[in-house]
Amino acid sequence: MFELFRSGRKNKTDKGITNQPVSPPSPSPPPPPPVVASRRKFQIPVMDNFKKKRLDSLDSWTSRLEQLHATYRPRSSDDGNDRWEADFSQLFIGNKFATGTDSRIYRGIYKNTAVAVKLIKVSEQEDENRERLEEQFDSEVNLLIKLSHPNVVQIIAACRKPPVYFIITEYMSQGTLKMYLHEKGPYSLTMEIVLRLALDISRGMKHIHSLGVIHRDLKSDNLLLNDEMRVKIGDFGTSCIANECRGNKCKMAGTYRWMAPEMFKEKVYTKKVDIYSFGIVLWELTTALIPFQGMTPIQAAYAACEKDMRPKLATNCSPAINKLIENCWAANPAKRLAFTDIVSILEMYEDCLNKGVPLTSSYSDQLQTEVSFSDRLKGFILPGSSIPLHA
């Protein structure tokens, strides 16, 4: 409190100035003793970097957190996977920065390290939706553990404790590739940046495909940037093992604007659906625009599938890059290159750029010819033949 008054001194009031003596204000009551919070209740740390007002603290998500923090402890097991179990005594959750259909993603601190915390809320009753989310959670955790690579988001811990499931991953401080592109503006990325980001993505996808995994939702929203502006692939909730992609898993998955035509038609598909999606992402890198802008998502998928429409290529982009984009989003999956070849092509382009020579599409044209010839040759190979083919 400011001490404003002395006896006989003029004092301003709401009604004007008086010469009446004013009594000193009554002393303020002593501050209440500090409240020691119960260790059993989930608490959010007071940090300048956290904004608690957007924490959804009034909904049922946080009430579930309080219950879990009070009851859950890491379990030990003999299968070697117990090291991925989350220890909630080491977890603090900050502001929410992303929302999905069945999940929320928060920034957090886990064992003194910045992390991203994905919360998946499932029904407490046994139903098809709960079964789907449980299967999706298990698949994503198992794949993240399996897919260790510099261009894949790293898992730190996880917990399957109904009705809330947790996946804790490394925190990607620069957000999504989509956010980055929209901040930069249309046609603003240099060829050097385009190639560097495209190589990060294609190297990560090459590793993912080498382990027999189909991502099925490759898009700029699921490509994340760290402090060094390197791209890492995330969100494996809809991913599957290629040779296990049967039944319900072969139904439509992914996001319409990046979805391959064969996926939209719910036909049998292969890892080439990710190549199509990469073609759309590579187009995004060269334009920094939204794919099929002006259309609704379902209109975009229909136009690509039924009318063979694609986004307009950038006129100021290298013809070699545009040629690669067209190859990736070809309507016929057999004409799309594999990520092994795409990495080789992009590395060659990067080498040309470093040497100051024009980018050439001759190598990609040669690879395309080899792929087409290999696909034609397959029609003449009898089942059970021992002749090796590499496409």
What are the domain boundaries of the chain? 52-170, 177-378
Strands 164-170 and 155-161: antiparallel
| Distance, CA of 270 to CA of 216 (rounded, Å) | 10
Per the CB < 8 A criterion, the answer to whether 93 and 171 are in contact is no
Write the pLDDT tens digit of every residue in 1-34. 333 333 444 444 444 444 445 455 555 566 555 5
pLDDT at 234: 94
Residue 202, classed as helix, strand or coil, is helix
Model confidence at 285: pLDDT above 70: yes
What does the block give as tokens for 284? 């995004």
Query: Does 351 qualify as catalytic in the annotation?
Result: no
Domain 52-170 has CATH 3.40.140.10: no
Closest by alpha carbon to 98, among 89, 106, 88?
Answer: 106
pLDDT band at 97 (very low <50, low <70, confident <90, very high): confident
Count of alpha carbons within 13 angstroms of residue 329, beta-carbon side: 26
Mean pLDDT, range 317-336, rounded to an integer: 96
**CATH of the structural domain 177-378, one choice from 3.40.1280.10, 1.10.10.10, 1.10.510.10, 2.40.50.140:** 1.10.510.10
Q: How many CB atoms lie within 10 A of CB 96?
A: 17
DSSP 39-56: TTS------TT--GGGS-
* Of the candidates 89, 91, 93, the residue with the CA atom closest to the CA atom of residue 73: 89
Average pLDDT for residues 178-205, to the nearest whole number? 96
- Mean pLDDT across 307-314: 96
**Please, which residues have CB within 8 angstroms of residue 259's CB and are 6 or more apart in sequence?**
252, 273, 276, 277, 301, 304
* Percentage of residues in the chain having pLDDT higher than 70: 68
Pair 151, 218: CB distance under 8 Å:
no
DSSP one-letter code for 173: T
What distance in Å separates the CA atoms of residue 335 and residue 327, rounded to the nearest whole number?
7
> What pTM was computed for the model?
0.73
pLDDT for 278 beyond 80: yes
> 271: exposed, middle or buried (C-beta count within 10 Å: 0-12, 13-18, 19+)?
buried
The distance from CA 156 to its chain's CA centroid, rounded to whole angstroms, is 15
Amino acid identity of residue 239, one-letter, is S
Which pLDDT value is given to residue 2?
A: 36
Residue 157, φ and ψ in degrees, nearest 5: -165, 165
Q: What is the mean pLDDT of residues 323-340?
A: 97
Among 217, 235, 274, 341, the active-site one is: 217
φ, ψ for residue 302 (rounded to 5)?
Answer: -65, -40
Q: Give the pLDDT of residue 384.
A: 40
For the chain, the average pLDDT equals 78
Going by pLDDT thresholds of 50, 70 and 90, the confidence category of residue 266 is: confident
